[in-house]
Chains A and B, each alone.
Chain A
Amino acid sequence: MLRAFVVVVCFQFAGEALSRLIGLPVPGPVVGLALLALAALALPGLQREVEEVSDLLLRHLSLLFVPAGVGVLQYSDLLRREWLPLLAVVVVSTALTLAVSALAFTAMTKRGGEDTGA
């Protein structure tokens, strides 16, 4: 498990380095995700190695957003001042984006026949 964690952190670091070095507009961890997926396609043992630690990290993904969420509270003045446009964007635009995405996805998969995924 510890060795697997080191592997994941190394891929994150490689992602950060690559993102910085060639000036990608994408943050290091997302580049690290792509690097790990590509590396595991070439070396199937790698996926088994990192499976357990990845599942653990993702099982409690919600927890990892708590510090950033608590950080929001320090902007309470700004939120009080601009609450109306912010609320409109956060609620309406998010719901609209959810609806358009899900409808587009089902429209596309229905045309191509049923597929239960998994």
Chain B
Amino acid sequence: MSGPADFWLFLSASPLFWLALTLGAYVGADALAAKTSRHPAVNPVLLTVLGVGAVLLATGTDQQTYFAGAQFINVLLGPATVAFAVPILRHRSAIRRNLPAIAVTLAAGTTTGVVSAVLLAKLFGGGAVLVASVAPKSVTAPIAMGVSREIGGLPELTAVVVIATGVAGAIVVTPLMDALRIRDWRARGFAAGLAAHGIGTARALQVNPVAGTFAGLALALNGLVTALVAPLLFRLV
């Protein structure tokens, strides 16, 4: 170790540095979000991504180097998905009472998500591959990427659109629901999980526990329904 340049070479090659940067940036972004009483525009995912992205750009670090550290966070998405069993079990009587609403909303929301994405993409000049890639945008990335591949989309593009949809949904959900005068936490949460998968659900969990539970339920159910019917819907539009 002879100087700052060497030290930086050592540091930036270490997965631990990128893991620490991601965690540190998130803690900062989350504290900022808490300080603004969870203002919808102060989205911790977006802030952290922008912060970390700026460091990667400024230092010319490639994705592989970053992911060597970030993968330890990424791998926890699987267990976190399984963990939704707990809030669903906790609120199972409320879920059982609302089964008709859940079924109807699922049918309406899943269809709107796929059909409106396809029509808008066509309307704004998207090519065939882009149109197929955006169709499953409202569901969690692994399901969306599988559907995209099946209907002739580009799974990598789908992953990008899925993340962007999640962030947009998480930012827009609170003002939109307020404008529509929807105060029912079950409806607000279910909409967030259905339209904006895990990132919308993360927002719902921060706002209200009932909203968070219904969001988690919608995320799982919409994933299931979209995997089964999106290819069919896509061919019909």
> Which residues does A use to contact B, with CB under 8 Å?
5, 8-9, 11-12, 15, 25-30, 32-34, 36-37, 40-41, 47, 50-51, 53-55, 57-75, 78-79, 82, 84-86, 88-106, 108-109, 112, 115, 117-118
Taking a contact as CB atoms under 8 Å apart, the answer to whether B117 and A104 are in contact is no
SS of A interface (majority): helix
State the interface size on chain B (CB cutoff 8 A): 113
* Inter-chain CB contacts under 8 Å: number: 325
- With contacts A104-B101, A105-B187 known, what are 9 further pairs, Cβ within 8 A? A8-B79, A58-B83, A58-B212, A71-B67, A95-B168, A101-B190, A117-B94, A117-B98, A118-B94
Which residue of chain B is the closest to A68 with respect to CB atoms?
B163
Taking a contact as CB atoms under 8 Å apart, the answer to whether B81 and A32 are in contact is yes
Taking a contact as CB atoms under 8 Å apart, the answer to whether B82 and A26 are in contact is no
| A-contact 0/1 string along B8-41, CB 8 Å cutoff | 0000000000000011011000100000000000
Q: Which residues on the A side are within 8 Å of B209 (C-beta)?
A: 118
> Which residues does B use to contact A, with CB under 8 Å?
22-23, 25-26, 30, 44-46, 48-49, 52-53, 56-57, 63, 66-67, 70-71, 73-74, 76-91, 94, 97-98, 100-102, 104-105, 108-109, 112-113, 116-117, 120-121, 123-126, 130, 134, 137-138, 140-143, 146, 156-157, 159-161, 163-169, 172-173, 176-177, 180, 182, 184-188, 190-192, 194-196, 198-199, 201-203, 205-206, 209-210, 212, 214, 216, 218, 220, 223-224, 227-228
